[in-house]
Structure 1
Amino acid sequence: MSSSVFVIGASGYIGLGVAQAFRRAGYRVYGLIRNEKYSNILLENEIEPIVAQTFDDLQSFADTLALCSIIVDTVGYNAKLSSSLLEVAIQTGKTRTEDGKLSHYAPLYIFTSGIMTYGDTSSTGRRPVDEMVKPRAANQGANNSSSANVSAMKDREDFENHILAVSSASLKTTVVRPGFVYGGQGGFVANLFYSEPLVIQGRRDMRWSWVHVDDLGEGYVAIARAPRVVVDKQLYNLAAPNDNPTYEELRTAMAKAQGRKETIEYKEADKDVPTRWNTDSIINPAKAINELGWHPRHVGFVEEIGIYYKAWAAHQSTQEIKSSEHA
């Protein structure tokens, strides 16, 4: 495999996982970052760092971007940044294809969204939702936090639709909705769940779909390897089938992994807690499995939660050591 990939946000939890997956698959990988201090992390993983003070500064990385047949935005939806990044990809596609005249050189743009776009999926009777289900960001309260959350999810859905609509002879587009991601160093969700005290906000039986960071990265590779005619203008859910433990099961397993025996406190969701933390989000990944041959390999979050906690704790310890060395 000789194709080049440009990963935007390559120093992030998902971004690094995706970049590593492409490198394992034999691609040449460039990682766009905003801080040079992350360069060594990328280099250690055979990813070439591209440092830009702002991600919408096309001129600082235009030449490298033009070399790449795949552009992956792992930053996620950002009201101020996402449109600029998409415009950069569109201009790159026009450059590579001479305004569409050489459409066989059109890059594939993969945008990272998330399953929260669906809103509360409990109305489906706990059945996982697939890509044909239109999101419904139902407001479950009149507080300002809930209203803001509904608005943000609607904005993200609109932007997903916009990305798919701009597909052309110069740029092919795909949107990925990952489940909640676990494994390795862990992301913001791990930081939230492993923190003290052990408090469950909202419903004990709330369920989310989960996916290991390595399996998620392999999903992006599967999209990139598929014929463009298959993945162009498509949405893909990426989560492990049937890996959707209840919030209570997950929290209890985490407490056990940490060796903690104190009683877990349960309470109703605070008015300041976004509604997305109190709703089911269960997705069906059959489309990616059937069309792309993608198959998650990890057995599940709860089943091996002990090793995932150790990995997260080891990363936290390493970060503390590095911070003290530079103090």
Structure 2
Amino acid sequence: MSSSVFIYGASGYIGLGVALGMRRAGYRVYGMIRNEKHSATLIQNEIEPIVASSFEDAEKIADILASCSIIIDAVGFNEKLSPKILEAALRTGKKRTNDGKIPHYAPLFVFTSGIMTYGDTSATGRRPVDEVIKPQSRPTKPRPGASASDVTNMKEREDFENQVLASSCASLKTTVIRPGFVYGGQGGFVADLFYNEPLVIQGRRDMRWSWVHVDDLAEGYVALVRAPRSVVDGELYNLAAPNDNPTYEELRTAMAKAQGRKEKIEYKAADGDTPSRWDTDSIINPAKAMNELGWRPRHVGFVEEIDTYYKSWAAHKAAQSAAK
């Protein structure tokens, strides 16, 4: 495999996982980071760090971007930054294709979104939602925890997803991935929140989210970039394990057991401080990625091996503390 991949946010939880997956698959991987301290981690994993104080530093990265056939935004949606990353990808595509005159050199741009874009999926009952379900980014009626800023952010993210897909042209192919909640390895912000906070369940104890192991997610990106451009161009893909959606209560109870915590779980009604997206089901159907890309999650589930995941998270935290 000789193709090169450029990943924005390569030191982040998802970004690093995707970078490692791409390297395992044989790609040459450039990882853009804003802090030199992350360079050693990338180099140790055969990823070439590109350090820039700003992700929009066009001059510093222009030549490297132009050498890459795949560009991945693993930063996640940011109202100021995301459009600039897309603009950089469009400029790169024009440069590679001579303004679209040689479209077979067009790079593939992959934007990383998330399942919270779907918003409140109560209209579907408890059925998993697929890519043809339009997100319900604005609540149909007020409910506890329905934060205006929370809803606005999800609507803006949906609008940007549509902008990415509409940007597909002769000089740039575009795809959007909506991962489920990600677990495994060092853990992301959800692991930090759940393992550190008191054992409190705010809102519905039977709430369910779709989960995906970070390595399985990375394999999904690999399957995507290996697929024919004609298949993935202008498409959305959900990536989550098809049957890994424990209730919030099951998950919190398993986490407490893994930690050896004895205190009783406290139940609270959702209040104005609880983001609305944390009090709704978010269960997605990954059948499209499985059928079109041949993607198959390998891990058995978050709760089933939560002891392993807790130990891994705790070890990473201990190493971070020792390094300070």
> So what's the TM-score if we normalise by structure 2?
0.98
Match in the other structure for 1:306:
307
Match in the other structure for 1:36:
36
Partners of 1:267 and 1:46 in 2: CA distance: 47
- Where does structure 2 lack aligned partners over 5 or more consecutive residues? none
What are the equivalent positions in structure 2 for 1:162-181 lying under 5 Å apart? 162-181=163-182
| 3-state SS in 2 of match to 1:303 | helix
Match in the other structure for 1:115:
115
Match in the other structure for 1:67:
67
Are residues 1:13 and 2:13 paired? yes
Match in the other structure for 2:132:
132
Moved >4 Å (runs of 4+):
142-145
User: Higher mean Cα deviation, 308-317 or 137-146?
Assistant: 137-146
> 1:66, 1:92 within 8 Å by CA — same for their partners in 2?
yes
Deviation at 1:144, TM superposition (A): 8.9
Deviation at 1:45, TM superposition (A): 0.7
| 3-state SS in 1 of match to 2:272 | coil
Match in the other structure for 2:318:
317
Over the aligned positions, Cα root-mean-square deviation in angstroms equals 1.1
> 1:17, 1:213 within 8 Å by CA — same for their partners in 2?
yes
What are the equivalent positions in structure 2 for 1:77-226 lying under 5 Å apart? 77-139=77-139, 141=142, 146-226=147-227
- State percent identity of aligned pairs: 73
Partners of 1:95 and 1:223 in 2: CA distance: 23
> 1:4, 1:28 within 8 Å by CA — same for their partners in 2?
yes
Deviation at 1:141, TM superposition (A): 3.3
Match in the other structure for 2:292:
291
Deviation at 1:142, TM superposition (A): 6.9
Deviation at 1:163, TM superposition (A): 0.4
Deviation at 1:125, TM superposition (A): 1.4
Partners of 1:84 and 1:149 in 2: CA distance: 22
Deviation at 1:123, TM superposition (A): 2.0
Partners of 1:196 and 1:165 in 2: CA distance: 41
Partners of 2:274 and 2:256 in 1: CA distance: 22
User: Higher mean Cα deviation, 12-21 or 132-141?
Assistant: 132-141
| 3-state SS in 2 of match to 1:6 | strand
> 1:113, 1:177 within 8 Å by CA — same for their partners in 2?
yes
Deviation at 1:145, TM superposition (A): 6.2
> 2:118, 2:137 within 8 Å by CA — same for their partners in 1?
yes
> So what's the TM-score if we normalise by structure 1?
0.97
Offset from partner CA, 1:187-237 (integer Å, 9 cap, x none): 000001101311111100000000000000000000000000000000000
> 2:183, 2:191 within 8 Å by CA — same for their partners in 1?
yes
Match in the other structure for 1:250:
251
Partners of 1:247 and 1:149 in 2: CA distance: 20
Partners of 2:264 and 2:122 in 1: CA distance: 28
| 3-state SS in 1 of match to 2:225 | helix
User: Higher mean Cα deviation, 78-87 or 121-130?
Assistant: 121-130
Offset from partner CA, 1:222-270 (integer Å, 9 cap, x none): 0000000000000000000010000000000000101112110110112
For 2:221, the aligned partner's letter is Y
| 3-state SS in 2 of match to 1:84 | helix
For 2:180, the aligned partner's letter is G
Partners of 2:287 and 2:162 in 1: CA distance: 21
> 2:3, 2:28 within 8 Å by CA — same for their partners in 1?
yes
> 1:9, 1:15 within 8 Å by CA — same for their partners in 2?
yes
> 1:145, 1:272 within 8 Å by CA — same for their partners in 2?
no
What are the equivalent positions in structure 2 for 1:39-58 lying under 5 Å apart? 39-58=39-58
For 1:291, the aligned partner's letter is E
For 2:206, the aligned partner's letter is D
> 2:145, 2:270 within 8 Å by CA — same for their partners in 1?
no
Match in the other structure for 1:233:
234
Partners of 2:64 and 2:7 in 1: CA distance: 11
Partners of 1:271 and 1:81 in 2: CA distance: 29
Deviation at 1:312, TM superposition (A): 0.2
Are residues 1:261 and 2:262 paired? yes
Partners of 1:102 and 1:64 in 2: CA distance: 19
Partners of 1:156 and 1:143 in 2: CA distance: 22
- Where does structure 1 lack aligned partners over 5 or more consecutive residues? none
